[in-house]
Amino acid sequence: MCRVDEVELLDAARRADQGAFELLVAPYQAELRAHCYRMLGAVHDADDALQDALLGAWRGLASFEGRASLRSWLYRIATNACLRMIRQRPRRELSIDHPPTADVHELGEPYGDWIEPYPDPQATYEQREGVELAFVAALQHLPGTQRAVLVLREVLAFSAAEVAGLLDTTVASVNSALQRARRSLDERTPDRSQQATLRDLGDQAQRELVERFVAAFEHRDVDGLLALLTEDARFTMPPLPAWFDGPPDIRRFLTERVFATPWRMVPTTANGQLACVGYQVHPDGGTRISGLNVLTLRGGRIREITSFLEPRMYAPFDAPPEL
């Protein structure tokens, strides 16, 4: 059911008051954007889907009768916008969807459809779990309907009956799709989320880990950085297909490529995880943005460094192009 203020705004919006419509949907835009990102794996696709959904909502206000909540109605429209986009585009990948390489000088050519990092949502731990890299990457391997069912049920906590209504299907079909989606995700996601790991570490240990990571990068301290990694760590660089598996190969890559030039690192967060924006120091003294490094932890050590190298991925983080 609609709240009183929503009813008033809805009545005004139906009279073609665009300002009232914007006020009506404003409380839901952030969560709808995160929903579209989970479904699509890319900020730019999520923004396109959200715009499509809001335009559809504006045009379809006459069809909203208030039987369900406005939030549910908006999720219905946004989910269908995402499903249309999923049918039209290849699924997005991370570097680990390609074989690793041991050649630090042959990193391959950028591939076209990659998962993008997401600005850290100002949300609960449970909602942040829904945008963690491993979870979003695993979702991209699911068919569109299974993807929608799992997100709506497990992340957003809609009931099976509500999801059936949103997707124009039956409760039995929703439950069946959810079971299949869970099995697939269990094979592709770690036992513990990053949110659980970060909670266990605590704020102080998180700060110390980031400080050591920044110091190792800025001092080009290979041993210091390797000391922060797990024994099965990997270093990936979307949109490049190459990635390095294990400390020995990562050592060679750091020594021969990454630390060939100086770096400045600025701590941030992405996908609900610890992260650092990397600025490469050039011979002219300029420090230009060159990567967004998202850290995936296991316990108190780094299991994976995902270094996003595509410049357009930095814009949502408000990271300046130069320091």
Task: Point out the domain boundary residue: 71, 89, 107.
Answer: 89
Instruction: Enumerate residues 6+ apart whose C-beta is below 8 A from 151.
Output: 35, 38, 39, 130, 139
| Predicted TM-score (pTM) of this structure | 0.91
The residue ranking higher by pLDDT, 7 or 224, is 224
Q: What is the CATH number of the domain that holds 201?
A: 3.10.450.50
pLDDT the model gives residue 125? 52
In a domain, 177, yes or no: no
**β-pairing verdict for 273-281 and 287-298:** antiparallel
Residue type, 20: A
User: What pLDDT sits at residue 1?
Assistant: 44
Asked whether the beta carbons of 131 and 271 are under 8 A apart, the reply is: yes
Name the H helices within 41-109: 43-59, 70-88
Query: Per the domain annotation, does 47 fall within a domain?
Result: yes
> Which domain, by its residues, includes 201?
194-317
Residue 323 to residue 279: CA distance in whole angstroms: 8
Please write the tens of the pLDDT for every residue from 80-118.
999 999 999 888 888 777 777 767 777 777 776 889 999
CATH number at residue 70: 1.10.1740.10
Give a yes or no: residue 40 inside a domain. yes
Instruction: Clarify whether residues 199 and 312 are in a common domain.
Output: yes
8 Å CB contact between 135 and 194: no
Best CA proximity match to 125, nearest among 188, 42, 198, 175 = 198
Per-residue pLDDT for 221 more than 90?
yes
Q: How far is residue 62's CA from residue 78's CA, in Å, rounded to a whole number?
A: 17
Q: Integer distance in angstroms from the first to the last C-alpha of the chain?
A: 49
d(CA 117, CA 270): 6
Q: What is the mean pLDDT of residues 221-235?
A: 97
Instruction: Say if residue 2's pLDDT is above 60.
Output: no
Inform me whether the pLDDT recorded for 123 exceeds 70.
no
Q: Confidence band (pLDDT; 50, 70, 90) for 68?
A: confident
What proportion of the chain, given as a percentage, has pLDDT over 90?
64
Residue 95 lies inside a defined structural domain of this protein: no
Tell me what the mean pLDDT of segment 253-264 comes to: 93
* Cβ atoms within 10 Å, residue 89: 13
Res 240 pLDDT > 50: yes
pLDDT tens readout for residues 280-303: 998 888 899 999 999 999 999 999
Contacts of 118 (CB under 8 A, 6+ apart): 34, 37, 43, 131, 136, 270, 271, 316
In terms of C-beta distances under 8 Å and separation of at least 24 residues, what long-range contacts does 200-209 make, across chains too?
200/299, 201/297, 201/300, 205/300, 206/274, 209/274, 209/297, 209/300, 209/302
Task: Over range 232-256, report the average pLDDT.
Answer: 91
Inter-residue contact 274 to 209 (CB < 8 Å): yes
In this predicted model, what pLDDT tens digit does every residue of 277-286 receive, in sequence order? 999 998 888 8
Is residue 86 a contact partner of residue 220, using CB atoms and an 8 Å limit? no
Task: Quote the number of domains for the chain.
Answer: 2
- Looking at 89, 111, 126, the residue that finishes a domain is 89
140 lies in a domain? no
Average pLDDT, the chain: 90
- Residue 58: pLDDT band (50, 70, 90) is confident
Give pLDDT tens digits for 136-187.
999 999 999 999 999 999 999 999 999 999 999 999 999 999 999 999 999 9
**SS (HEC) of 218-230:** HCCCHHHHHCCEE
Residue 187 forms part of a structural domain: no
**Does residue 221 form part of some domain?**
yes
- pLDDT at residue 195, rounded to an integer: 92
Is a pLDDT exceeding 90 seen at residue 126? no
Q: Which of 89, 105, 126 is the last residue of a domain?
A: 89
Q: Which residue has the higher pLDDT, 155 or 6?
A: 155
Do 49 and 78 touch, CB atoms closer than 8 A?
yes
* Sheet with strand 263-270: strands edge to edge: 243-245, 229-236, 301-308, 287-298, 273-281, 263-270
> How far, in Å, CA of 123 to CA of 93, rounded?
25
- Per-residue pLDDT, 200: 95
What integer pLDDT is reported at residue 122 of this predicted model?
64
Let me know if residue 171 belongs to a domain. no
